[in-house]
Amino acid sequence: MSAGYNKFIAVGNITRDAESRMVGETEVGRYSVAINGRKDKVLFIDCDHWRIGGVLPFLTKGQSVLVEGELEQQSWTDKEGQPKSKMVLQVRQLQLLGGKKARAEEPEMDFASF
């Protein structure tokens, strides 16, 4: 079987302010993006953004973004012992498209690639 190719690109709006945590010495941001589809369908995708750095303050609810990365299936068992899973986008590139401003007054940032 040949190697596959995993690349996901979408434009949408951030649904909640990004939060960050440290994994080892690396800052990882997590946020969700709503992507409008056909027939008023909306896809909600969680995003993990490694080395989020200075772009974190700009990732606020309502901000329009273009996200690019790889989809990853994450699985776990809930408190009741039921298996659960979801798709998470491992963000490799992010482009801010306008909309909301940063949480605090900071210089404008148009493009971030990580």
pTM of the model: 0.77
Query: 29 to each of 4, 40, 56, 80, 84, how far by Cα in Å?
Result: 27, 28, 7, 28, 22
Confidence of residue 107 (pLDDT cuts 50, 70, 90): very low
CATH fold group of domain 8-105: OB fold (Dihydrolipoamide Acetyltransferase, E2P) (2.40.50)
Instruction: For the beta carbon of residue 56, count every other beta carbon within 10 angstroms.
Output: 19
Residue type, 93: Q
Higher-confidence position of 28 and 99: 28
Q: What is the mean pLDDT of residues 72-84?
A: 95
pLDDT above 50: residue 54: yes
Does position 106 have pLDDT exceeding 50, yes or no? no
Q: Are 32 and 45 in contact (CB under 8 A)?
A: yes
Q: What is the pLDDT of residue 16?
A: 94
Q: Could you tell me the residue ranges of all domains in the chain?
A: 8-105
